[in-house]
């Protein structure tokens, strides 16, 4: 079966031409798909015969809301989407004064093994298709009624481990006939997969690159982020400097503060040293506690921020939205997996 929604406009037009349809048909179908229709029958400007042919040959991805949590405090909505094969992923809609941001997943699970992260506990099941990433934006808009202005690839999964599909998703979501979200309104977060960073640097996209740093020294970082054993922190910063040189885009560094692990003043000093010669922004994040992990949130966030700022580094403490719901990425899926084990609900999560 053909996955129409993962196609670019050019590919879609080519496909419809191969079915004997005129060139403009591609744009019509593209527009419907990017409006988030749930059946081919809703494509009212196509003939019945064409709709039937599409039904026979193509799939139309429509995720189901398996769970939904709404924060009474700030209106943040967390969705657990169930896809056609039964697997589930999460997205979060966050409402800021400047617009609505949706945080989407790029994989079912993750194989990177970061010690503090709920998304990786059961490993990686599979990559998401471009259509499945797009669906998280489309159906979050549709269900919530909120127009999305910003997208962050910070949900479940490592985008650089599924980069071809992620790049295609970016092309789709950026398209003027689709949702049309500008690259400058998109952030992509990586744990530090250097070949992916280098590929993005070559492409020169205007998106914001976020690096999940979490420790500036290889000894600590390798303990909490196995990716550091393949791409160590020195090589990572070299890749970041190169990225800035090629794109001129300021990089954002994510830093979840863990009690007694990465919150020492000498680590703030080392971050400042490594950032020298490149504008960078450090986002200090209160660690979300994950039941399966031994780590606890740091009590030194303000002191650490001060230490960074004293050396001219812009550092902010990330406002925590949705604190009253399962806000930490991967937790909703984890919880549903446990419920499934107990036979309480019908969402398939296993490999
Ligand atoms: C879930 S990851 C997905 C994107 C990508 N794989 C990455 O690591 O950047 C998004 C962000 O959440 C952070 N994160 C994961 N577990 C966390 C936790 N328990 N508390 C706070 N942040 C966490 C990650 O370090 C990363 O910065
Ligand atoms: S922090 Fe990112 S890379 Fe690390 S395990 Fe979680 S999702 Fe994967």
310: which 2 tokens? 């004293």
Residue identifier of the C-alpha nearest atom 6 of ligand 2: 117
Q: What local confidence, expressed as pLDDT, does residue 329 receive?
A: 61
Whole-model pTM? 0.95
Q: What local confidence, expressed as pLDDT, does residue 349 receive?
A: 42
H helical segments located in 108-260 = 130-144, 163-173, 194-203, 218-224, 227-230, 233-247
Q: Which of 12, 37, 5, 27 is nearest to 133 (CA)?
A: 5
The finding on whether 197 has its CB within 6 A of some atom of ligand 2 is no
d(CA 294, ligand 1 centre) in Å: 16
Residue 158 has pLDDT above 70, yes or no: yes
pLDDT per residue as tens digits for the range 249-289: 999 999 999 999 999 999 999 999 999 999 999 999 999 98
Please state which architecture CATH assigns to domain 2-59. Answer: Orthogonal Bundle (1.10)
With 0-12 / 13-18 / 19 or more C-beta atoms within 10 angstroms meaning exposed / middle / buried, residue 82 is buried
Q: What local confidence, expressed as pLDDT, does residue 333 receive?
A: 73
Confidence of residue 187 (pLDDT cuts 50, 70, 90): very high
Residue 350 has pLDDT above 50, yes or no: no
Mean pLDDT on 84-102: 95
Mean pLDDT on 93-98: 92
Confidence of residue 319 (pLDDT cuts 50, 70, 90): confident
Mean pLDDT on 156-180: 98
Q: What is d(CA 280, CA 269) in angstroms, rounded to the nearest whole number?
A: 14
Mean pLDDT on 313-323: 82
Confidence of residue 343 (pLDDT cuts 50, 70, 90): low
Q: What local confidence, expressed as pLDDT, does residue 328 receive?
A: 57
How many other CB atoms are found less than 10 A from the CB of residue 182? 12
Q: What local confidence, expressed as pLDDT, does residue 123 receive?
A: 97
Q: Is 288 annotated as a binding residue?
A: yes
Could you tell which of 120, 189, 290 is best to mutate to test the pocket of ligand 2, judged by most ligand atoms within 8 Å of the CB? Answer: 120
Residue 155 has pLDDT above 90, yes or no: yes
Tell me, yes or no, if 90 is annotated catalytic.
yes
Q: What is the mean pLDDT of the chain?
A: 93
Please state which architecture CATH assigns to domain 64-342. Answer: Alpha-Beta Barrel (3.20)
Q: What is d(CA 120, CA 159) in angstroms, rounded to the nearest whole number?
A: 13
Render the burial of 124-147: b for 16+ CB within 10 Å, e for the rest: bbebbbbbbbbbbbbbbbeebebe
Q: What local confidence, expressed as pLDDT, does residue 340 receive?
A: 66
Q: Is 110 annotated as a binding residue?
A: yes
Mean pLDDT on 81-109: 96
ipTM of the complex: 0.99
d(CA 154, ligand 1 centre) in Å: 7
Yes or no: say if 168 and 11 are a contact pair by the CB < 8 Å rule: no
64: which 2 tokens? 């189901």
pLDDT per residue as tens digits for the range 35-47: 999 999 999 999 9
Ligand nearest to the CA of 124: 2
212: which 2 tokens? 């999940």
Residue 303 has pLDDT above 60, yes or no: yes
Residue 57 has pLDDT above 80, yes or no: yes
Q: What local confidence, expressed as pLDDT, does residue 290 receive?
A: 87
Percent of the chain at pLDDT exceeding 90? 87
Q: What value, to the nearest 5°, has the Cα angle with vertex 9 and ends 8 and 14?
A: 100
Q: What local confidence, expressed as pLDDT, does residue 321 receive?
A: 67
Q: Which of 200, 94, 192 is nearest to 151 (CA)?
A: 94
| Torsion sign (Cα): 256, 257, 262, 263 | positive
Q: What is d(CA 351, CA 346) in angstroms, rounded to the nearest whole number?
A: 15
Q: What local confidence, expressed as pLDDT, does residue 124 receive?
A: 98
Residue 22 has pLDDT above 60, yes or no: yes
Q: What local confidence, expressed as pLDDT, does residue 318 receive?
A: 80
Q: Do domains 2-59 and 64-342 have the same CATH topology?
A: no
Where in the chain are the domains? 2-59, 64-342
pLDDT per residue as tens digits for the range 324-341: 666 556 667 776 776 666
Residue identifier of the C-alpha nearest atom 4 of ligand 2: 114
Mean pLDDT on 218-236: 98
Confidence of residue 351 (pLDDT cuts 50, 70, 90): very low
Q: Which long-range contacts (CB under 8 A, 24 or more apart) does 9-14 make?
A: 9/175, 9/177
Ligand nearest to the CA of 159: 1
d(CA 26, ligand 1 centre) in Å: 38
Which residue of the set 103, 191, 240, 329 is catalytic? 329
Yes or no: say if 100 and 135 are a contact pair by the CB < 8 Å rule: no
Number of the ligand 1 atom closest to the C-alpha atom of 210: 9
Yes or no: say if 222 and 229 are a contact pair by the CB < 8 Å rule: yes
DSSP 282-326: EEEEEPPP-TT----B-S-HHHHHHHHHTTT-EEEEPP---TTS-
Q: What value, to the nearest 5°, has the Cα angle with vertex 36 and ends 185 and 60?
A: 120
pLDDT per residue as tens digits for the range 62-80: 999 999 999 999 999 999 9
d(CA 27, ligand 1 centre) in Å: 37
Mean pLDDT on 79-104: 96
CA-CA distances (angstroms) from residue 144 to 73, 253, 275?
A: 16, 30, 39
The finding on whether 191 has its CB within 6 A of some atom of ligand 2 is yes
């Amino acid at each position: 079966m053909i996955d129409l929604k993962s196609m670019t406009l050019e590919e879609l037009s080519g496909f419809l031409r191969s079915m004997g349809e005129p060139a403009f048909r591609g744009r019509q179908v593209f527009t419907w798909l990017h409006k988030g229709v749930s059946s081919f029958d809703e494509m009212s400007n196509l003939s019945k015969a064409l709709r039937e042919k599409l039904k026979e040959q193509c799939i139309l991805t429509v995720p189901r809301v398996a769970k939904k949590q709404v924060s009474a405090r700030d209106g943040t909505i967390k969705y657990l989407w169930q896809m056609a094969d039964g697997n589930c992923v999460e997205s979060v809609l966050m409402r800021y004064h400047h617009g609505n941001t949706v945080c989407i997943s790029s994989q079912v699970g993750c194989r990177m093994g970061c010690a503090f992260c709920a998304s990786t506990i059961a490993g990686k099941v599979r990559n998401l298709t471009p259509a499945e990433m797009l669906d998280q934006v489309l159906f979050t808009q549709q269900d919530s009624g909120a127009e999305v202005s910003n997208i962050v690839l910070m949900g479940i999964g490592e985008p650089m481990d599924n980069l071809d599909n992620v790049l295609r998703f970016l092309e789709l979501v950026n398209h003027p006939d689709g949702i049309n979200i500008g690259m400058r309104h998109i952030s992509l977060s990586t744990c530090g997969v250097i070949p992916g960073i280098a590929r993005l640097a070559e492409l020169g996209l205007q998106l914001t690159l976020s690096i999940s740093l979490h420790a500036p020294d290889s000894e600590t970082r390798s303990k909490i982020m196995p990716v550091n054993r393949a791409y160590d922190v020195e090589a990572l910063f070299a890749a970041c400097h190169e990225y800035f040189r090629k794109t001129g885009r300021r990089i954002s560094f994510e830093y979840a503060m863990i009690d007694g692990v990465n919150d020492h003043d000498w680590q703030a000093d080392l971050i400042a040293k490594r950032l020298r010669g490149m504008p960078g922004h450090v986002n200090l994040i209160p660690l979300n506690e994950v039941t399966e992990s031994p780590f606890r949130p740091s009590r030194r966030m303000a002191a650490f921020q001060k230490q960074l700022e004293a050396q001219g580094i812009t550092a902010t403490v990330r406002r925590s939205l949705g604190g009253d719901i399962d806000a930490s990425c991967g937790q909703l899926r984890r919880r549903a997996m446990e419920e499934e084990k107990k036979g309480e609900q019908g969402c398939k999560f296993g490999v």
